Each structure stands twice: as C-alpha cells, then as structure tokens.
Amino acid sequence: MPTTIIVDHTSTLFNLGQLEYGNKRIEQYQKGINKLLELNKNNNIDMILADNGSDFDLILDKRITVIKNNPNNYGKINKGAGLIEIWRNNIELLKKYDYIIHFEPRQLLINNDFIDDFMKNPRNLFTIGKEQNHFNTGLFCIKSSTLLQYIQLNSPQLLVSKRLGIEYSLYHFFLRNKIQFDTRKKMNLIWFPADHPPITH
C-alpha cells in the first residue's frame, strides 16, 4: 500500500490541484485501510504500507508493517514515478514474494471480489481503463518477478521526462513483452479524487 500522508504544498501535483490534503486525506486513508483489513481478515496476506511523505499520522492495525524511509523525489511530480521510487526502494522485500497485491488505500473497497478472485487463482490480474488502452492501477495483482522487470526497465525519471502515466506505461510493457494477464470488469471500489465527489470503479 503506497501512501503519502503529508503532502508537499510546493509540489507540482499539489499546485495543479491533483492532491487531496490535510485531515480529509488522512480520513480517506484510514477508511480505506480499515475496510481492506475488515474484508481480508481471513486471507493470509502480509499487509505492508510504504509512505513517501515526510510524516506519518495514522492509527494502524498491528497486522500492518510500515516502511517509512522511502524517497519522494519524483512522486510529487508524477504519481506513477512515485510508485516506481517506492518499489525500487524495496526491491529486496519484493523478491520475498511470488505475487504482489497493489492497493492504493485512499480508496474504499465495496467488496473483496477482486482480491478473493486472485487468492483463489494467483496470477497477473487487472482491470482495463474505459479507453481500453491502459490498466487501472488503484488495485491490481502482479507476479513479483514481472514487477521487478518492469521497474528495472522503467525509471521514475523516464515517466517524468516523457510525462507518462503508469497506467499506460505498465499496460504497454505487458503488451510489448507478451506477458499473460487476466482482467475483471471492475475493481469494486470507490476512489476519492481531489476536490471531486467519489467515483465508483
């Protein structure tokens, strides 16, 4: 679970109005994490939260491991580049697992169908964006070796310099390399965009 609890108010994304901040942001994270824990109490999943902000102010369940020492040089410019920063900072941890369930906790699961589907049959599992040319990256499951290959070939600098969204970058990486993946129609969650009503996916 990648988070940025404290937002840099001088960052590019903040100045573009793309980042929720303050107590509202923290409340959204708290609700998203609590719901994830509630729905997965019977699943054998290691819950790991990696924050790349400057502080941490959440009340977390003891089942969650928190990693705080993540860089945030690119995430304030490009959200996907920030994810790659976190993943690259935790390569040895990623290597310990066969699969990674990536969940961005400033979202609220409506149900656990997506994760339960993966748990019954572990594989690369995504939903496709409405334009049919990118993945939705708020919730997806990926083989760790595939994720490691992706972050080796795609740097945070690349996404920033080419103004690439990770949704498109990751999707085209799978297509170019002919990597097999399955899709579901919906993630079954509510996403909280900055300064807009929640959106169901």
Q: How does pLDDT run across 123-164, given as a tens digit for each residue?
A: 999 999 989 999 999 999 999 999 999 999 999 999 999 999
Determine contact, residues 189/195, Cβ cutoff 8 Å: no
**pLDDT tens sequence across 13-68:** 444 444 445 678 888 899 999 999 999 999 999 999 998 765 565 667 889 999 98
How much is the pTM?
0.86
What's the sign of the alpha-carbon dihedral 33, 38, 39, 40?
Answer: positive
Q: How far apart are CA 99 and CA 125, in angstroms?
A: 11
Would you tell me which CATH number, out of the four given (3.40.1710, 1.20.1740, 2.40.230, 3.90.550), belongs to the domain 2-200? 3.90.550
